[in-house]
Amino acid sequence: DPCRNFHCKRGKVCHVDKQGKPSCICQDPAACPSTKDCEHVCGTDNKTYDGTCQLFGTKCQLEGTKMGHQLHLDYMGSCKYIPHCTDYEVDQFPLRMREWLKNILIQYYERDLDTSGFLTEKQRSKVSNPFQVKKIYQNDRRLMAGDHAVELLLHDFEKNYHMYVYPVHWQFHQLDQHPADRLLTHSELAPLRASLVPMEHCITRFFQECDGDQDKLIALKEWCYCFGIKE
């Protein structure tokens, strides 16, 4: 099969011509497999698509047009009303995000302790720095996961600043993969953004404002500055 090891980017599928030569053509959105309601996604055109296959197939067919250039995955789930993000809310967003990232790492660490090897050595080296996370985990002053007052989050960040530096760098590394060049593109941000938009309506504005030089890329320095990490 000429298409066996022939890879196409999202929205395209391999097609073999009469001479047996493979090439990439746009996925026909109507030919995408059926999906469940929980797999629906919302595009930046505020239209609900049955899944990412249909969304990226549509984007491919619009390639070369302004509409195609602007169409991206906005968030997971059917389109719904997303409240406007106020200046106050976007200012508080990094407080919750830092705490959330710290708790994710703690959960990974706890799960690995409970299951005696939940993560493989390769996964463990990618997911976390065991020494750093162990220090965070063992710190008795850390906040338990949950909703906390802004003042409490700010106080904990100032008092235990070093506990937040690694989680912020870790998340950047997790996203910076295609390619790993210390710059986050819209596509690299998508896995984080798309899953959080329905719960954190300020995340889109937050990332837009993180891009200080407005070059459509978020550098590591810009990312850290947005989260309050010192140079």
Helix intervals (H) in the chain: 52-61, 66-70, 87-115, 121-127, 130-138, 150-159, 162-175, 186-196, 203-210, 220-226
173-216 pLDDT per residue, tens = 999 988 899 999 988 998 888 888 888 899 999 999 999 999 99
Does 65 lie in the same domain as 93? no
Does 133 lie in the same domain as 188? yes
- DSSP class per residue in 109-158: HHHHHHHT-SS-HHHHHHH--HHHHHHHHH-TTSPPSS---HHHHHHHHH
Residue 113: its pLDDT value, please? 67
Does 171 lie in the same domain as 97? yes
Q: How many CB atoms lie within 10 A of CB 80?
A: 11
Query: What CATH number does the domain containing 132 carry?
Result: 1.10.238.10
The reply to whether 101 falls in a domain is yes
- Which amino acid is it at 14? C
Binned at pLDDT 50, 70 and 90, residue 142 comes out as low
Does 99 lie in the same domain as 209? yes
Query: What CATH number does the domain containing 38 carry?
Result: 3.30.60.30
Q: Is the pLDDT of residue 141 over 70?
A: no
Query: In the chain, what is the straight-line distance between the N-terminal and C-terminal CA atoms, in Å?
Result: 52
Of 76, 111, 132, which marks where a domain is finished?
76
Mean pLDDT, residues 57-67: 94
Does 114 lie in the same domain as 21? no
The reply to whether 128 falls in a domain is yes
Residue 140: its pLDDT value, please? 44
11-49 pLDDT per residue, tens = 999 999 888 899 999 999 999 998 888 899 999 999 999
- Which amino acid is it at 117? G
Weakest-pLDDT range from 28-37, 94-103, 147-156:
147-156
Weakest-pLDDT range from 26-40, 65-79, 108-122, 186-200:
108-122
Task: Report the C-alpha gap between 73 and 190 in whole angstroms.
Answer: 7
Residue 121: its pLDDT value, please? 62
pTM: 0.71
Does 114 lie in the same domain as 220? yes
The reply to whether 179 falls in a domain is yes
Does 111 lie in the same domain as 58? no
Q: What are phi and psi of 161, to 5 degrees?
A: -50, -45
Does 100 lie in the same domain as 64? no
Range of the domain at 177: 87-227
Q: How many domains, in total, are found in the chain? A: 2
Judge contact between 207 and 218, C-beta under 8 A: yes
Does 110 lie in the same domain as 33? no
Does 187 lie in the same domain as 132? yes
- In our burial notation (b when 16+ CB lie closer than 10 A, e otherwise), range 114-135 reads eeeeebeeeebeebbeeebbee
